Structure 1
Amino acid sequence: MKIRLILSFLLLATCSIAYGQEKQSEKSQKHHTMATEKGLIKVSIMYPYAEGKTFNMEYYETKHMPMVAGFLGSNLVKYTIEKGLSGGAPDQALPFMAIGIFYVKSLSDYRAALAPHLDAIRADFVNYTNTIPSIFVSEVVK
């Protein structure tokens, strides 16, 4: 009985230590990720919501964005995809159906990498949307 109690205590202590180390590692990684984003170029492709406009998120996530990301090569740090849920206020209309974001090291390299593929990228739009996106280019400052 005593041995079971001691083993249970050791198991609990080991789990607690491992959990604490995991949380510390997550905190460190989050800080590292945030720190490395400063100075990156952020290209936001925003698909506005309007009556009659459609967006195929599955196609965008599995086909379109990976295709474009592949053109960017080592200049690409990461990309994200956001699905619009609502406007800022409860009764406010949804401003965007989706936003695709590329984080890259160089804007000129981004443009050079995509230039030969612009026709293919635009031709793919019909496979997932019937709206024209707005593009916003910015620099991450924090």
Structure 2
Amino acid sequence: MIKVSILYPYREGGRFDIDYYCGTHMPLAARLFGASLKGWSVDAGINAGPPGTPPPFVAAGHFLFDTVEAFYAVFKPASDTLLADIPNYTDGGNGTILISEVKVAV
């Protein structure tokens, strides 16, 4: 199984609407990805470890797929719609994508 993570760096004074991201953008992606998507989640950054420190990332969206090929097959046709929605929740751009292999899941 692979996980596709989109990491949104924390920026002092930056805008990130976590409610929109969780309630609109991620469900939109899930609908567009269809049955190939095995699950999704969102992390909202709290801090960098010590209390009161800003987090390195304000948010991270995660998608689970069986294979990288399964992700690319559904992402390519959905990409224009998803990219066009980014300004609705952030002024910080596209985020950084990390594709990783899930070694342990519970």
Same fold flag (TM > 0.5) = yes
1:53 alignment partner, SS class: coil
The AA in structure 2 aligned to 1:65 is M
**Alpha-carbon distance, 1:58 to partner:** 1.1
Asked if structure 2 preserves the Cα contact closer than 8 Å seen for 1:87 and 1:93, the reply is yes
Encode CA deviations 1:88-135: one digit per residue, 9 max, x unaligned: 223543101111100111211211111112111111000000113011
1:112 alignment partner, SS class: helix
Q: Structure 1: 5+ residue runs without aligned partners?
A: 1-39
Runs (4+) off by over 4 Å: none
Asked if structure 2 preserves the Cα contact closer than 8 Å seen for 1:56 and 1:129, the reply is yes
- Bigger proportion of residues as strand: 2
Q: Counterparts of 2:84 and 2:29 in 1: how far apart (Å)?
A: 12
The AA in structure 2 aligned to 1:60 is Y
> What are the residue-to-residue correspondences of 1:1-142 with 2, within 5 Å?
40-90=1-51, 92-132=53-93, 133-142=95-104
The AA in structure 2 aligned to 1:117 is A
Name the Cα RMSD after superposition.
1.2
Q: Counterparts of 1:104 and 1:138 in 2: how far apart (Å)?
A: 11
The AA in structure 1 aligned to 2:23 is T
Q: Structure 2: 5+ residue runs without aligned partners?
A: none
What is the match of residue 33 of structure 1? none
Determine which structure has more spread, i.e. the larger CA radius of gyration. 1
The AA in structure 2 aligned to 1:141 is K
1:136 alignment partner, SS class: strand
What is the match of residue 24 of structure 1? none
User: Identity of paired residues, percent?
Assistant: 38
- Bigger proportion of residues as helix: 1
Task: Give the number of the structure with larger relative contact order, counting CA–CA contacts within 8 Å between residues 6 or more apart.
Answer: 2
Asked if structure 2 preserves the Cα contact closer than 8 Å seen for 1:75 and 1:106, the reply is no
Q: Counterparts of 1:131 and 1:112 in 2: how far apart (Å)?
A: 26
2:38 alignment partner, SS class: strand
Taking structure 1 as the reference length, the TM-score comes to 0.68
